[in-house]
């Protein structure tokens, strides 16, 4: 496996790519909520990976990674991350808050990297993660009819699965990440369909949901498959293969800015002071983590 470059921060082109990814991921929570009105959550997740797999898989050779690696990534992202998160967003947590809570992936990604890749966490990164964590604690203290403790716990589990998937994808090394995401999708579909059959009314209900779904809901499925999965996760995996996890993993902390903003604009989700404060703390943690190395160098030059 080729080891990631040890750049202390993202170069401009990579930073712009990261911003494009998080813009898609953040606004995507509105699409999720809209499509869940037509599809039950596990079926919705299964359809996402069906169209991520087909027909692209016929035009891309399987990446040269072990089958267990593809399977682990497919299960972690398909079932652990999105299957669970769709279930939570369907009735247990608002889309905007889900976009914020799922950023617990940062802590899991960095923690796994420290354990498996022996990456060292620097002091400024500890401070950054602590500040972001405080924002998530504020959310946990404000449960209501639209956001339950179960919803928070489920989305935290989705963040854990995302962090574990990040670790698995880094083990794949320097490969074609688009092909990797496409082939891994094959392992997401069977367990999600099984969950849909068992918990969402059986085959008859699945057929009815697909037959009655409006065009907009199907567009939402394709957006999940192509923009969110094929572009977002392939590009994200590529960034993780080029940089230490502690540098790349905090970038999606910008997702809540897009997620909360889009949910407020399109879904009428409220923006009380506590929610703005929580998002502000999370984003502050991101900014410290991303820009402190550059700022520290400039401060040292200015002083000395």
pLDDT for 6 equals 47
| Preceding peptide of 33 cis, ω within 30° | no
pLDDT of residue 119: 66
Instruction: Identify the residue whose tokens are 């068992």.
Output: 198
In this predicted structure, what is the pLDDT of residue 304? 63
Residues whose CB is less than 8 angstroms from the CB of residue 174 and which lie 6 or more positions away in sequence, other chains included:
1, 2, 241
pLDDT score for 249: 66
- The values of phi and psi at residue 280, to 5°, are -65, -40
Map out the domains of the chain as residue ranges.
12-303
Q: Note the pLDDT of residue 258.
A: 85
**Which residue do the tokens 């997401």 mark?**
188
Say how far apart CA 246 and CA 153 lie, in whole Å: 24
Nearest CA to 258 out of 21, 16, 9, 37 is that of 21
Q: How many CA atoms lie within 13 A of 251 on its CB side?
A: 27
Helix, coil or strand: residue 143? coil
Q: What is the pTM of this model?
A: 0.82
Which of the residues in the chain have pLDDT under 70?
Answer: 1-9, 117-119, 145, 245-246, 249-250, 290, 304
Output the CA torsion 233→235→237→239 (10° steps). Answer: -140
CB 72 within 8 A of CB 168: yes
């Amino acid at each position: 496996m080729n080891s990631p470059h040890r750049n202390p921060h993202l170069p401009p082109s990579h930073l712009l790519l990261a911003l494009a990814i998080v813009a898609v991921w953040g606004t995507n929570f509105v699409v999720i909520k809209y499509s869940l009105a037509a599809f039950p959550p596990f079926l919705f997740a299964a359809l996402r990976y069906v169209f991520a797999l087909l027909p692209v898989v016929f035009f891309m050779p399987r990446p040269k990674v072990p089958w267990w690696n593809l399977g682990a990534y497919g299960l972690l992202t398909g079932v652990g991350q999105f299957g669970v998160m769709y279930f939570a967003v369907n009735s247990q947590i608002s889309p905007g808050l889900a976009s914020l809570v799922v950023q617990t992936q940062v802590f899991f990604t960095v923690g796994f990297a420290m354990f498996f890749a022996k990456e060292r966490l620097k002091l400024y990164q500890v401070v950054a993660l602590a500040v972001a964590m405080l924002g998530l604690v504020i959310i946990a203290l404000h449960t209501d009819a639209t956001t339950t403790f179960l919803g928070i716990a489920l989305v935290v589990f989705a963040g854990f699965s995302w962090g574990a998937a990040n670790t698995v994808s880094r083990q794949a090394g320097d490969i074609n990440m688009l092909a990797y995401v496409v082939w891994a999708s094959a392992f997401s579909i069977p367990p999600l369909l099984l969950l849909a059959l068992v918990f969402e009314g059986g085959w008859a209900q699945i057929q009815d949901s697909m037959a009655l779904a409006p065009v907009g809901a199907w567009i939402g499925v394709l957006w999940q498959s192509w923009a969110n999965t094929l572009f977002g996760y392939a590009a994200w995996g590529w960034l993780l293969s080029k940089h230490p996890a502690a540098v790349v993993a905090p970038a999606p902390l910008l997702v809540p800015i897009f997620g909360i903003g889009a949910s407020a604009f399109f879904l009428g989700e409220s923006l009380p002071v506590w929610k703005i404060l929580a998002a502000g703390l999370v984003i502050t943690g991101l900014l410290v983590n991303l820009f402190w190395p550059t700022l520290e160098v400039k401060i040292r030059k200015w002083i000395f």
